[in-house]
Amino acid sequence: MSALNAMGIKKSFGGQRVLDDAWIDVPEQWIVGLIGPNGAGKSTFLTVLSKFIEPDAGVITSRNMDVTTRSPHALSRAGVVRTFQVPHEFSELSVMQNMMVAVKNQAGESIWQALLLPHRVSAEEKVIRARAGEWLEFLGLDHVAANAARNLSGGQKKLLELGRALMTDPYLLLLDEPFAGVAPGLVDTIIEKILELQKRGLGFLIVEHNMDAVNALCNTVFVMERGRILTDGAPQKIVNDPRVLEAYLGGKL
Ligand SMILES: Nc1ncnc2c1ncn2[C@@H]1O[C@H](COP(=O)(O)OP(=O)(O)OP(=O)(O)O)[C@@H](O)[C@H]1O
């Protein structure tokens, strides 16, 4: 069974075809990479797969459910959650508060109340706080839990973005350039956390330019060029494929 499968995806903007019969398959608990030159359509594909924009054609399924017409909200409630190239944290809230407001279902709304009226903390909110604390510890952010999110480094913001996604209990995470703007030391930390999450049962689809990270993480890689999937396979095979080298400017990955 696939955590995510998409076939025949087409998308045009103002007459420009950006996705042209694009496809992908993410088996359960796999880490799948999506690479390709700038402007190939990777982010657009991720945005279509997470349903933030509608495809013009094609079918998207997750765990054998047709999710083509679902809203992004419904998809994330089902367990498929995306993160953004530029993290979407609430900059004035603390790191802990950011984690707590990310929870799905009704609890998320009551958390806002709890933040505004801190003396009215329900048992449910205590459970959510404890879970947020566990994830922050896992991600190495527990020491900054009380800090305003705006004061985090670029890499810490990426970790917080991952933490906020984890608060929704996903089975598949779609990550858009999780290593962009991250200091080298934190790149290794994020790689380690993703591999640990895979061991705990999560799958990932990762759009990324950092080929060292792709090599370290991915079970398989899809290469996109001008809105189409050029080829797919193990990272070692992909980086030595002359068609892939040609697709990149300068013929070098
Ligand atoms: N909302 C939009 N309206 C018009 N054109 C768009 C829109 N979104 C994307 N495009 C165009 O689609 C093409 C693919 O862009 P996209 O950002 O998906 O590529 P990418 O492979 O993610 O590139 P990069 O690696 O540089 O992030 C580009 O030509 C872009 O200008």
- Ligand 1 centroid distance, CA of 27 (Å): 26
- Digit-coded pLDDT (tens) for 82-114: 987 666 778 789 999 999 988 855 455 556 666
For 39, residues 6+ apart whose C-beta sits below 8 A from its C-beta are: none
Is any ligand 1 atom within 6 A of the Cβ of residue 227? no
Residue 34 lies in a domain: yes
Nearest CA to ligand 1 atom 2: 13
Residue 107 lies in a domain: no
Nearest CA to ligand 1 atom 28: 39
Work out the number of other CB atoms within 10 angstroms of the CB of residue 70. Answer: 17
Residue 109 lies in a domain: no
Spatial distance between the Cα atoms of 200 and 22, rounded to a whole number of angstroms: 30
Residue 224 lies in a domain: yes
∠ at Cα 14 (83, 17), nearest 5°?
A: 70
Determine what percent of the chain is predicted with pLDDT higher than 90: 67
Work out the average pLDDT over 204-232.
Answer: 95
Residue 44 lies in a domain: yes
Work out the average pLDDT over 63-75.
Answer: 92
Structural domain total, the chain: 1
* Local structure of residue 218 (DSSP, 8 states): -
Nearest CA to ligand 1 atom 6: 13
Count of alpha carbons within 13 Å of 22, Cβ hemisphere only?
30
- Ligand 1 centroid distance, CA of 220 (Å): 23
Residue 103 lies in a domain: no
Give the range among 77-81, 174-178, 224-228, 241-245 with minimum mean pLDDT: 241-245
Q: What is the mean pLDDT of the chain?
A: 89
Spatial distance between the Cα atoms of 204 and 207, rounded to a whole number of angstroms: 10
Q: Which atom number of ligand 1 is nearest to the Cα of residue 47?
A: 18
Please report which confidence band the pLDDT of residue 252 belongs to, taking 50, 70 and 90 as the band edges.
very low
Is any ligand 1 atom within 6 A of the Cβ of residue 13? yes
Is any ligand 1 atom within 6 A of the Cβ of residue 61? no
Residue 121, pLDDT above cutoff 70: no
Residue 69 lies in a domain: yes
Kindly report the CATH number assigned to the domain that includes residue 44: 3.40.50.300
Which is more confident, 16 or 123?
Answer: 16
What is the three-class DSSP state of 100? Answer: helix
DSSP-derived pairing of the beta strands 31-35 and 172-176: unpaired
Tokens of 231: 């080829």
Residue 120, pLDDT above cutoff 80: no
Determine what percent of the chain is predicted with pLDDT higher than 70: 89
Is any ligand 1 atom within 6 A of the Cβ of residue 41? yes
Work out the average pLDDT over 39-50.
Answer: 95
Domain with 22, as residue range(s), is 2-86+170-181+203-251
What is the three-class DSSP state of 80? Answer: strand
Spatial distance between the Cα atoms of 89 and 128, rounded to a whole number of angstroms: 18
Nearest CA to ligand 1 atom 4: 13
Residue 97 lies in a domain: no
Among residues 156, 18, 168, 142, the alpha carbon closest in space to that of 87 is found at 156
Residue 245, pLDDT above cutoff 80: yes
Work out the average pLDDT over 139-156.
Answer: 92
For 28, residues 6+ apart whose C-beta sits below 8 A from its C-beta are: 1, 2, 3, 63, 171, 203
pTM to 2 decimal places = 0.89
Is any ligand 1 atom within 6 A of the Cβ of residue 43? yes
